[in-house]
Every structure is written in C-alpha cells, then in structure tokens.
Structure 1
Amino acid sequence: MTRRSFSRLSTYAAAIGLLAITAIKIAPSLAAEDAAIIPPPAADVQSANGIQTVVLAGGCFWGVQGVFQHTAGVVNAVSGYSGGSKTTADYQMVSTGTTGHAESVEVKFDPKKISYGKILQIFFSVVHDPTQLNRQGPDSGTQYRSAIFTTSDEQKKVADAYIAQLNAAKVYRKPIVTKVGALEGFFAAEAYHQDYLTLHPNQPYIAYNDIPKVENLKKIFAENYIEKPTLVSSIKVTN
C-alpha cells in the first residue's frame, strides 16, 4: 500500500492498530531482505572543513530523514524538496509529480565524526534501493526518485565514482539509477513532515516501510548508530 493509502486508514483506529501490529511483526524479516551490505567508497572527500551539507533523495522523505537522524555525526536532517522551483515546493503540488522536485533530505554533518563517503554508504545500503527508477517501495513517481544533490565538485566526483564502483562490483542485481547533480535549491517541507518517523512510529506506513531501515542502520552500521535521534523540532527551519 502507498503512503496515501495508509493515511486514509487514519479514521479507523482499530484498523490502524491491527495493521501497525502486523507491520511491526513482519518488518524485521523484510529488513533483512531489503538491506544491502556494500563496500565503502574507494575514494572520499578529503578537503572538507566545518559542517558539510548534502541533499539526498531516496523515496518518501520520512524514512530518509529518520535514518540520518539516528546517524552519529549528523547535526541536522531536514525533510524538503529539491529539483524544482521555490514556488512549487509544496507537498500537494510536489505529489502530482509535475514540479520537478524530489522528496529530499538536507543532511548536515560533521566530517570529523562521519565522512561523506560513510553518508553515501548508508544511503545506498539501508536508506533505499538505488536500482528503482522513479519509485521506492510502494510509492511511484518522479518525486520519489533516487538522487544526490551535491554541494561541491569533490562531492560529485566521489558520488559518481562510488556508483561506478558499486555497479562494477555488481553489488545489486540491476544497475544503480541514482542521478548525481549540483544542488540548485533546497526547500524545507511543511512542519508536519518533520521528525515524522519519531513522532509516528506506529503509523502503519512508518512501521512497515521505515522502522526496518533504522533497525538495519543499528544492525549493519552499529558504530554509526545513535539511539536518541537528532530532531529538528526545536530548530527554526526556513526556506
């Protein structure tokens, strides 16, 4: 079921409870199947000083944000939109798939605590399936595409090289379709989308699709996992 299908169940409390319990029970087995254990990038950014930023798109931003909020060294992860103009950076408009935006997460990280390469390794491993074109799991449309919006030439070179490395090693059954390009704009999503995984852990879509991603982070990248998420609730998010 899609995210919208799950939302329509919100008026049926009993149904939600049953679905959430069922989803939680089957999620661990899905997690083991969906996560990919992959090698780290052969090359990494070497010249980073101070807090760095990269914007990542990998399906519904709820799960992408949730994973990076549980990642040590990430100082902020904000859900939003990239790839289109500010005038159409609105959830209802983006959901039509006609604005050019991708649901994205702006990841700010401290390179002294976590490298850009490790951010990419987590992104390609537990955050999403980079071989799915214009979709992710139950959600389809260009707004759910896989993309890396870079903030430096070095970031782009490392990302391109890593994709080539993973494709050459045939880590996945199909080629990676992730697009890499310079960030032209990031627009924070509406407040109700922020910290969504933490605030709604039993929502069926989250329980079924996204909680397993965080569990995979904890399992596969234990040294990079933090139990308490770094939330944006108390941070002023502006466009």
Structure 2
Amino acid sequence: MSRPAFHSLPFLAATAALALAFASPSRAAEDAVVIPAPTVDAAPASGIQTAVVAGGCFWGVQGVFQHTAGVVNAVSGYAGGSKATADYHTVSSGTTGHAESVEIKYDPKKISYGKILQIFFSVAHDPTQLNRQGPDTGTQYRSAIFTTSDEQKKVADGYIAQLNAAKVFSKPIVTKVGALEAFYPAEGYHQDYLTLHPNQPYIAYNDIPKVENLKKLFADNYIEKPTLVSAGKVTN
C-alpha cells in the first residue's frame, strides 16, 4: 500500500479511505526504540552542516527534525535518482531510484551528526523494514543515509555496525549508506506538512507519535516550536 495523494483527493474521501486502511489493532506509527549514542561521531566543525536521510514518508521525518534543537532547516525532497524524475508523481511509481528524503541543515555546535542519526534510527523510522515504512511500500520509502563526506560515511557505517552488534533491534538494520549525488526539494505542498495538517488521519496516526516520541526520549533535543521551511527559503 502506498500513501494516498491527499492533495488530489477531496478531504472526506481521503478520510474515509484512511479509516478503512488503518482499521486494525496495530499500533500507530512505528515503535520508538531506545538506542545508545554512537561510539564514533563526527569531529566538531564550524558552519552549518548538511545531513540527508530517507526513512519512509518524508512528512514524518521532516516533522521530527523540525522539532529538533540545532536544526536550522529540514526540507522534504528526493535523493537517489535524476533531476528529470524528481517529482512526486514520478517518484511514487517506485521506478526512479529516488527515495523520499529529508535534507537537514544543522548547527554542529548544538547537535552532532551522530545525534541526528540516533534520532533517525530511534524515533523517525524503523530501520529494519526493507523498502517500506509502516503502510507505505516501494523503494521510494526505503531506509537510507546519503552522506556528504567520508567522515559521515564512517560514522553512519560504524553506527549501524554498533547497533547490529548490540542487537538493539529485533531484526538487522537494512539502511543503505551511500554518497549523496544530489538532493531535490519536493513540491511546496509537501513542505511543513505535519505542522499544517496535524489532524489529517495519516499524519495523526503515523507521524504525530514520532514527534511525541522525540519529546519523550530526547527531551534535551526537543523544541516545541517547529523550524518551518515556510519561514525561510528552499534551495537546491
């Protein structure tokens, strides 16, 4: 099952479809997992840094990092494919190589790359699900880390190995780590989606619990007021 394109459906029809889709005894969203911090982190750096991750629907991942202290911008978009296919309709076909991703600009004096990955693995998504996340299926919903430096790759690979060795998850982590070739911001209606549509059934069921888990498990890294794209400028 893939996420319905709510922007093209009447609200009541979307609500009815979701009510049927999620009428099950399963828990809302993916369970958060308490995990240790990485034993190896990126060295302190000056200036704003960039991290790009993919963990299912970008609405929830963006929402989590918009509530994370030290993040100065979190933009929903596409990574892993070409510019020509970086649009929602085409990416939703699952044939473009793109993953729904979030580009995170952060201040390394306030949050480290390793802490971003800890939040990513713990509350933003379930890294043991292959080519799916919750109700969404397809390679566009895969778990991935797109690194921007050799150091980021070292930290990401080492952290995955650390977590697998500690068996903090019931299954092995399937997150793929690879160099970022390009990031393409998603359409404007996808930005700040969790904040703008908190009562939409998909968001309420799958994504709001992720932000609540961030507040619960990472209280020192949580900010109540989200850092929104609409307050700044989206750039390639």
Q: TM-score, normalised by structure 2?
A: 0.92
User: Counterpart amino acid of 1:212?
Assistant: P
Query: 1:40 is matched with which residue: 37, 40, 55?
Result: 37
Query: 2:94 is matched with which residue: 61, 84, 97?
Result: 97
Matched with 1:148 is: 145
Provide the secondary structure at the position in 1 that maps to 2:4: helix
How far has the Cα of 1:211 moved from its partner?
Answer: 0.1
Matched with 2:66 is: 69
* CA contact 2:44–2:109 (8 Å) conserved in 1: no
Matched with 2:4 is: 4
Structure 2: 5+ residue runs without aligned partners? Answer: none
Query: 2:83 is matched with which residue: 86, 90, 93?
Result: 86
Matches within 5 A, 1:1-239: 2-4=2-4, 10-12=10-12, 30=28, 34-239=31-236
* CA contact 1:91–1:190 (8 Å) conserved in 2: yes
Provide the secondary structure at the position in 2 that maps to 1:133: coil
Change (3 A) 1:184 1:34: same
Per-residue displacement from partner, 1:66-111 (whole Å, max 9, x unpaired)?
0000000000000000000001100000000000000000001001
Structure 1: 5+ residue runs without aligned partners? Answer: none
Provide the secondary structure at the position in 2 that maps to 1:233: helix
Provide the secondary structure at the position in 2 that maps to 1:181: strand
How far has the Cα of 1:49 moved from its partner?
Answer: 1.9
Aligned-residue CA RMSD (Å): 2.3
Per-residue displacement from partner, 1:163-206 (whole Å, max 9, x unpaired)?
00000000111100000111100000000000000000000000
Aligned length: 232
Change (3 A) 1:176 1:14: closer
Cα distance in 2, alignment partners of residues 14 and 58 from structure 1 = 23
Provide the secondary structure at the position in 2 that maps to 1:76: strand
Cα distance in 2, alignment partners of residues 219 and 168 from structure 1 = 25
Tell me which protein shows more helix as a share of its residues.
1
User: Counterpart amino acid of 1:236?
Assistant: K
How far has the Cα of 1:47 moved from its partner?
Answer: 4.3
Cα distance in 1, alignment partners of residues 138 and 14 from structure 2 = 31
How far has the Cα of 1:235 moved from its partner?
Answer: 2.0
Cα distance in 1, alignment partners of residues 234 and 5 from structure 2 = 28
* CA contact 1:6–1:205 (8 Å) conserved in 2: no
* CA contact 2:55–2:124 (8 Å) conserved in 1: yes
Cα distance in 1, alignment partners of residues 129 and 228 from structure 2 = 28
